[in-house]
Structure 1
Amino acid sequence: MNANKLKGHAAVLTANVIFGLNIPVTKFLLSGWMSPLGYMLSRTAVATLCFWAASLFAEKEKVSVRDLLLIALGGFMGFIVSQYLTAVSLQYTTPVHFSLIVALSPVVVMLLAALFLREPISRQKVAGVALGIAGALLLVVRSMGTESGENDLAGMLLAVLSITGYGVYLIIMRNIAQKYTVITQMKWLFLFTALMMLPFGARDFGSQAVFSAASTGQAIAGLTFVIVFPTMLGYVLTPYGLKHLRATTVSIYMNLQPIVASVVAIFVGQDTFSWEKPIAAVLVITGAYVVTTSRAKDDPDTSLPHPGHKATSPRT
């Protein structure tokens, strides 16, 4: 394995540890300090200012109109759809249930790659999908009788839509990552997402409890963590990983999120330990591993460009 791939693995691993920590922090902020729209606009507005300020000192790159449209679509799917639905989902279900659904992400990316990139699906991949679905169904069935969130079923359905949005983001941004620096990608992505969020979140923004006199140090620290680490650092590290790794490889690291989030959530009292959680986790993570390690006979591993290749027409 060359140095660039090692750096890519390290970047994606770090990003997903951060995303895992973000799940219980987001749950805390949404428990009374922020609304989903206020939470989203806060993240996009600050990130936009920071990345455009950083771009003043970075390499200047001209981005084609087509690529700007793709970045806008990637921002919509990977941040607005994915992150907004994450915030809403966590209002209904627990961080453990949400993070276990997140572990289905490699399965979703595999299916999207088959649909949009025509990647073949082997029997081993189908078996992995079945294992992942079995784990998710175990959570759904158990939550119907002993709900630990406000509405676990609704929360987990929203989580499925959230990870689908993020899967589309990975497929779109994989080729964009080959052509531009991370700062260029992120300054445009967050500008577009902030503009899209502004009409919906502006009214909520001023009424966030976290910005009022009643705010606490914990609430401010939580929001600061969300903006600095998952929003800015996490979204820098992920495209860096996409520059050197396949989208399906990047997605397998999302299985770190349920492990990190579950440990933290149980430790801080946001969730409780029960027998079905580790069983569901084993099923989901095993299914994801089977999916991403499977190789069909006719899969040439060339559906996405080589990290060193300068793509000329992003394939979505």
Structure 2
Amino acid sequence: MKNKITEANVSMVISKTFSGLNMNALKYLLPLWMTPLSGVTIRCTFAAVAFWIIGMFTKPETSTRKEKISLFLLGALGIYGFMFFYLIGLSKTTPVSSSIFTSLEPIWVFILAVIFFKEKITKMKVIGILIGLGGALLCILTQKSDDLAADAFTGNMLCLMSSFAYAAYLIISNRILSKVGVITMLRYTFTGAAFSALIVSTVTGFDARVLELPLHWTPFLILMFILIFPTVISYLLIPIGLKYLSTTLVALYGYLILIVATIVSLTLGQDRFSWTQLVAILLICSSVYFVEIAENKEKK
């Protein structure tokens, strides 16, 4: 079991590192080389096809019809909802700001656990939540729109919604994983996400210059990186973490996204250093620390 936990932790480190680079790669492509909704359609459809192909070469997994329908709906609403808000938000704000809201996932996980699973509320946890929400509010209200963030307020609000949607996905998928295999979960959730994406693209239209001929190799290779590493490989690794680690700990690994996205963004000029962003980051990191300390005290 100890080896499994180590494997789960390593899986989360790799997965979240790819997710951090994903923010910078997507920021390069959006909206010049593809629209946000077209980007969601490409990612969800590619992942669904990839996981069905991978499933053909893995050990068969058993699942009931009810479980498959639940997974399909989880993907159609949870994964698609997360990517929908995330890509539109990222196209309007900066990678650092979007990663700040990703770091709120442990807070949302706890709040949802309180509402639906009667998690115990303590003074320490309430303080942590208030500090975290204060950090998010600081980022939302102080960041101004500029050449790097076309509509910072709207983008930040959408990224906030995406972090909430992903937290809900983490909680539900964590419970379903106790009954079904990893590949089964990925096949049906991404099939559901692709279904929603294709319906939306049918209504709104599909616009992805990155796929037009003749190919522009730099954006095309960046897209391939996004599809293979942050999408397929990253999502293959997440269920390993969910199976052997607590949901809160998995969400805590979201801080790696923040670290990677911040370093790469400042290096590539996709964001500028901001004291308010730094304060927001420190507040959110402190908030999760409070929640975790309170949880650990209760366990002891």
Q: What range is the shorter-chain TM-score in?
A: over 0.9
| Structure-2 residue corresponding to 1:69 | 69
- Alpha carbons of structure 1 residues 213 and 205: separation in structure 2 relative to 1, 3 Å: farther
What percentage of residue pairs aligned between the two structures are identical? 30
Preserved CA contact (<8 Å) 1:128 1:287: yes
Alignment of 1:150-299 (within 5 A): 150-202=150-202, 207-213=207-213, 215-295=215-295
- Give the aligned residue type for 1:246: S
- Alpha carbons of structure 1 residues 198 and 18: separation in structure 2 relative to 1, 3 Å: same
- Alpha carbons of structure 1 residues 146 and 34: separation in structure 2 relative to 1, 3 Å: closer
| Structure-2 residue corresponding to 1:307 | none
Q: What secondary structure is seen at the aligned counterpart in 1 of 2:253?
A: helix
Preserved CA contact (<8 Å) 1:77 1:168: no
1:26 matched to 2:26 = yes
Question: TM-score with structure 1 length normalisation?
Answer: 0.88
Alignment of 1:3-82 (within 5 A): 3-82=3-82
- Give the aligned residue type for 1:243: K
Query: Equivalents in 2 of 1:192, 1:2: separation in Å?
Result: 34
| Structure-2 residue corresponding to 1:100 | 100
Query: Equivalents in 2 of 1:146, 1:201: separation in Å?
Result: 29
Query: Residues 144-192 of structure 1: CA distance to partner in whole angstroms, max 9, x if unpaired?
Result: 5879511211111111110111011011100222222221211111112
- Alpha carbons of structure 1 residues 124 and 11: separation in structure 2 relative to 1, 3 Å: same
Higher helix share: 2
Preserved CA contact (<8 Å) 1:89 1:154: yes
Unaligned runs of at least 5 residues, structure 2: none
- Alpha carbons of structure 1 residues 296 and 257: separation in structure 2 relative to 1, 3 Å: closer
Preserved CA contact (<8 Å) 1:5 1:245: yes
Aligned pairs, number: 300
| Structure-1 residue corresponding to 2:110 | 110
Preserved CA contact (<8 Å) 1:106 1:292: no
- Give the aligned residue type for 1:44: C
When structure 1 is superposed on structure 2, of 21-30 and 58-67 the one drifting more is 58-67
Preserved CA contact (<8 Å) 1:38 1:201: yes
Query: Residues 20-64 of structure 1: CA distance to partner in whole angstroms, max 9, x if unpaired?
Result: 111111111113001122111111222122211121121222321
- Give the aligned residue type for 1:101: F
Query: Equivalents in 2 of 1:161, 1:266: separation in Å?
Result: 25
Preserved CA contact (<8 Å) 2:77 2:193: no
Unaligned runs of at least 5 residues, structure 1: 302-316
Once the two structures are TM-superposed, the CA of residue 88 in structure 1 deviates from its matched residue by 0.3
Query: Equivalents in 2 of 1:54, 1:144: separation in Å?
Result: 44
- Alpha carbons of structure 1 residues 199 and 140: separation in structure 2 relative to 1, 3 Å: closer
Once the two structures are TM-superposed, the CA of residue 114 in structure 1 deviates from its matched residue by 0.9
Query: Equivalents in 1 of 2:209, 2:118: separation in Å?
Result: 47
When structure 1 is superposed on structure 2, of 213-222 and 38-47 the one drifting more is 213-222
> Structure 1: which 4+ aligned runs deviate by more than 6 Å?
none
Q: What secondary structure is seen at the aligned counterpart in 2 of 1:70?
A: helix
- Give the aligned residue type for 1:90: L
Query: Equivalents in 1 of 2:70, 2:168: separation in Å?
Result: 11
| Structure-2 residue corresponding to 1:305 | none
Query: Equivalents in 2 of 1:62, 1:249: separation in Å?
Result: 28
Query: Equivalents in 2 of 1:208, 1:9: separation in Å?
Result: 36
Q: What secondary structure is seen at the aligned counterpart in 2 of 1:179?
A: coil
- Give the aligned residue type for 1:217: W
- Alpha carbons of structure 1 residues 211 and 9: separation in structure 2 relative to 1, 3 Å: same
Let me know the Cα RMSD of the aligned residues: 2.1
- Give the aligned residue type for 2:130: A
- Give the aligned residue type for 1:273: F
Query: Equivalents in 1 of 2:88, 2:98: separation in Å?
Result: 11
Query: Equivalents in 2 of 1:86, 1:238: separation in Å?
Result: 18
